[in-house]
Amino acid sequence: MPARARRLTRAGVPASAVAAFVTGAISLLAACGGAPPSSSRTPTSTPTVAVIATPSPTPQIIGTTRTVLSPLGLRVHSAPALVSGNVIGGFSQGRSFSVIAYESGGGGWFHVQGATLAGWVVADPTLTAAGTFNTYSEADGFTALYPQTWGFQQESFGTLFVPQQGTADSAVLETAASLKTFGAAGLPGYLATSVTPIVVCGYTGTLGYYTKETSYTGATPAPLPVPRQPLYAEVRLALDSTHAVLIGFNYQTSAQVDVFSSLYNSVAFPFPLCEAPASAATPTPKA
């Protein structure tokens, strides 16, 4: 992919999601691995304070389709627990399954049904995503998943992902010889709201969220085949002394950021840490 210091995308998501991912990395890796083949108010006579219960996620999850994001695949268990001996198979990256039940204990588990395999998988948003996805791949070994309702096109600065219809969101995947090639973090005219560490396919980088300044009057980087949106986010990774990656997202509201997280959680590249065998990336399950 041509290397250039230009990116598109959007921003504005709390860093707490990233922190949760980092602190829970060890337990999540135990669930990944090379997949084996295959409110309302009640009126009263006296004033009351309304208490709105947090809705259960179960009605929103059961019956939905999810897709495996993890490049290492996702292990399927016979019961909702990371214990020795209950791995019965696995789903490779890109495989989809139906959620038939949800268990909140043990960090959260999905009871799932695939084409030929049923069982339990950990319910972590870094490992699976709602919906179905297409696979993007390059000759140099870079791969990623993007929603089936999106498409992509090659530009001088990298690969641009855009919805086929309906919104003006956009994502970009760029490579370069170093992080410096991409220029300053963020975009001109955008203010950082959070910048935190993140691990993507074994490599530690930075995840930044930005908001567009309404008062900004400077030039917008060009050429850009898509308009700038109110929010921007990007992940920057240095893979070695001569290879760096930028994944950016230009979007309108935080409700759309799942597309971005699915992209960076699914990206894979032919570098040692990303290609670590499952046995090396999987600690002994909890007894």
Residue 272 identity: P
Judge if pTM exceeds 0.85.
no
Specify the pLDDT at position 164. Answer: 92
How do residues 152-166 score in pLDDT, each as one tens digit? 999 888 999 999 987
pLDDT at 29 over 70: no
Query: What is the average pLDDT across 255-266?
Result: 95
- Bridge-partner residues for 152, per DSSP? 161
Tokens 């409110």 label which residue? 39
**Strand, coil or helix: 179:** helix
Specify the pLDDT at position 270. Answer: 93
How far separated are the first and last CA of the chain, in Å rounded? 45
Distance of CA 99 to the CA centre of its chain: 19
Contact predicate 152/162, CB 8 Å: yes
Ordered domains of the chain (ranges, CATH)? 16-21+131-266 (3.40.1000.10), 59-123 (2.30.30.40)
Contact predicate 185/236, CB 8 Å: yes
ω into 223 cis (within 30 of 0)? yes
What is the CB neighbour count within 10 angstroms for residue 91? 26
- Sign, CA dihedral 166-188-136-123, equals negative
pLDDT at 45 over 60: no
How do residues 203-259 score in pLDDT, each as one tens digit? 999 999 999 998 887 776 655 667 889 999 999 999 999 999 999 999 999 989 999
The Cα 284–Cα 281 span in angstroms is: 10
How do residues 112-141 score in pLDDT, each as one tens digit? 999 999 999 999 999 999 999 999 999 889
> 108 or 220, which is more confident?
108
Query: Closest Cα to residue 169, out of 9, 11, 12?
Result: 9
Specify the pLDDT at position 1. Answer: 45
Query: Closest Cα to residue 170, out of 10, 48, 23?
Result: 10
Query: What is the average pLDDT across 80-106?
Result: 92
From residue 118, give the alpha-carbon distance in Å to each of 74, 105, 121, 132. 13, 19, 10, 18
pLDDT at 51 over 50: no
